[in-house]
Structure 1
């Protein structure tokens, strides 16, 4: 069942309406007697005047009737409420609920909010307390009896205080809203207090009171003027508003002014007294008692007695600044000159500065210099304090950087005082944008400073595309075009018409079919009628067309297709040297090939200042040199000794030379390596440097392909020779040489040959066009011998070597033995052990002179002496006998296993030959006994 929810009517509005209707009605007898003589008769209240809401008791009656019938529905449990139920009523909408249901509703609702509030199911009003008591409608009696006249009523007067009057509800405890107050209000006097009246409570004006028709005749000034407001009013009457004529203080003028502004004072003029009440704008002169000096004053009351002269000796006690006494001047009258000292005045001025002038007469002026910010606040200037006090603000030449409100133009005014305000607003706008908060620039215009409002005409094309915006320059889109045409708008087929006037931008929406004929003559495809800006669909009829280059006829091509290509690529070279590379073009057939300006190939030209190719996009049309940009190709640079090498960018450009051929400095490790190599050579421990400038691989290839190698060797030698000739002649030489494409073994030969000439070499391009280019470096040198001379020299040396080896071997075979070779020295035996045992053996041979033991190699020593330097057959026999003694003794003492004669060189460092004939048969046929072997010999036999 729907519930009726009504609010209490506003009593204030009703009172105003009733007071207006009853404003001419008097309630008391005295008022009626006085009003009977007036012309204003009371008039009846019309319907319009008494149009206020009547207090409605429908809610209360409906609730009581439905509860008595047992048909009132609880909105929470949807069950009926009768006299036996326990209820709770919402004081906002007066809806009645079962107490247990609404209590459960409130507990569950308050548990979901932080402030522990719950909402009424009917009016959604928020309550802060839980319903936990069953009371009567007025709430004064708990658990009311069900047999009362009104359900759940205590039977007592409601006595609820009305919010806007002095009365209480007199109805019996009831549900719903309170009935309207029907009592009479108190007796109220009018604003002036002359009359009084009593109205119904609803019509009584408690807050604003009421006004009678009598005028306010209160005297408001000493002149007897009455209140200027006239009618009865509330509050004070205010100052007198009458205008009167009064004499000024100096007596020269009579001025009309308000009575409340008069200030009467006794004045004197030419020894005549009079009453002045106001001041004029004249300046009056008042003489001092000396009758000589005077002062100028604004119009004011003067006295009969003249003031004492300010320049009198008894008044002036010091100079003007007050720092020096005036006693030294001996002034006797006021006409004597005033004293002045030589000190700075130093008086404190109104601006807060001190007077910088010398002690002086009259008012001080400030001449101090201050640092003052300009209008925009970016610059500081030195200005006088006097100018600052007068409102002067310096201006700088800095232009404002703020954007105008249109967001299209900049302010650019010099020294803008509102620049910081605009920049702050711009920062706030950007901050909002970062936080994804939209800002309306149109709203900012109302609070924006006038100097940042753009006054130019927008002049942008509107959405119609025909007219331009004539409004002030603004942000955002321009408004809708308001232009109109006086001609009818007719579609192409003529079946759809928009009568004039036609607003600009109006589009026709014709639903008929387009009837435009095609240029090709084929049948038109079905489509809607459209304006001239939109073209008809392309023709889809298939025809045979000749391709662009004219070499083929392509079948089944759409009629609307004009560019028909067979896919043939044009290979004609352009002016830049690259192929045209356009597919099937009519221009190529006519001889108009692609322009070099649109060439997309890589330049690939050899640069002038380095041997590398230009890797930039083809630039022949711009006349830009390939060397304009630094070369970034990687090159290898070495130190002077060739030990250190680094990969660096070539770096060649129009202003810089290539790093090819440059040498980097050797470091300490190079010097150390050179020193170690010299020591190795000094002690015959190192590898001797090669006698030839060419590597073995170069010589080997030259022997196999003499003609081909000689060709490129001659070309390289001529290249170096011409370079040196150009240097001697003072001509800039060519430092690089590009060789033709070669195979990989051939390129390897060129690289190794370049090392002999100390040239920089590098392979370029891809197979099969890969080639080698050479570049002269600071260390480049021409080998003294050619490859042919080197090969011939090696062949000659080889022949001599073989001859000498054969000759030397025959001489050695014919020579005598001159030393004893001690072999197979046992493990752990040192050279000292060998020498000590040999000395014992030589004690039996006193004729031996200067014997010595020399180390030859591991486990091998050689014995020599001066006796066996010049050998013959007899000395060789003695040497043989001595070797037998060495062998027997050294073997017995486990010093060495074998001793035999040998031939050594003069330095006893090389064994030239050994005695292989006179070897004992026991050594050749029998093995030594086990006791004669050392333990390591046994291990060797076991391992074998």
Structure 2
């Protein structure tokens, strides 16, 4: 839980600074209290091949303010209080949305990382890799919207962002950046490069399904798993997917490999990833869309239970079934003129005649082949003919003497 400032950091620091092994590391690190509210910068002083002193301070103690914030946090959880309890509420700052629209694909990936960090109760901090100043500014702004605390560490070009979970963090915003951009598009004076807003309008009585995967539809001809995997990994680097080809050309199922504690967490993750994955696959002509789906995973192969944008056949009841049964109109019987044969009768008789003539020709050829069969032992046949001639001559001569 606490930051571990031991020799494992020395290898990283020696990459970007000329530090001799006999000298202590001059860079600073951060120690915090258990709830992450209090933090303090300390000098690393780590040395290569030297164990950490036993009396070295590695954490801070929580104070009364920490206890008060912890009580408030528990109360908010018990009451299920979230930042976006109003439908048109946007839980992101204007600067976050502006930075998001400058690089939508990259920002989607960072949002996915923060949502995974927020969903993992065991993780208290997350360290990003080195990035540019503009990108670090977006991470800081987005982290503040999530309720995280962040610090930029190390000099350029290895400067990076370290995030902490603080008591003010309750949960990740329910709305994604894409949804917020659609709501705020008027103020931002742009057209958000995302799917149409009509997908977000839901009837009051619509059932919220526990989507557990994505379905790729209208696939490229002769598509292979090797073509899909790198594009999915590029769109969602922090999430591993199992790629399963559905039977009877039913599309391709993308199922997260990791199991989730609640279906809600998985649904939120897939909702945030769906625009990015769909855009990447459509851009490379792999599929026409990637839609949210609820799969039945109890069998050998996954089976689609509910697909986003389609009415489930398993829950259609009442008037819809009655209307479906009465939807087939009755047809009046057609009276054919006397002596007129339908077209399929004429074609059937012609085909039967052709088939009969073909069978006769085959029988004639078979009889001719049997009549012209060559005897294999020709010497035996010659001897047999000679014996027959001798017998005939003997018979004739005997008859003459009598």
TM-score (norm 2): 0.29
Higher helix share: 2
Larger Rg: 1
Larger RCO: 1 or 2 (CA < 8 Å, sep 6+): 2
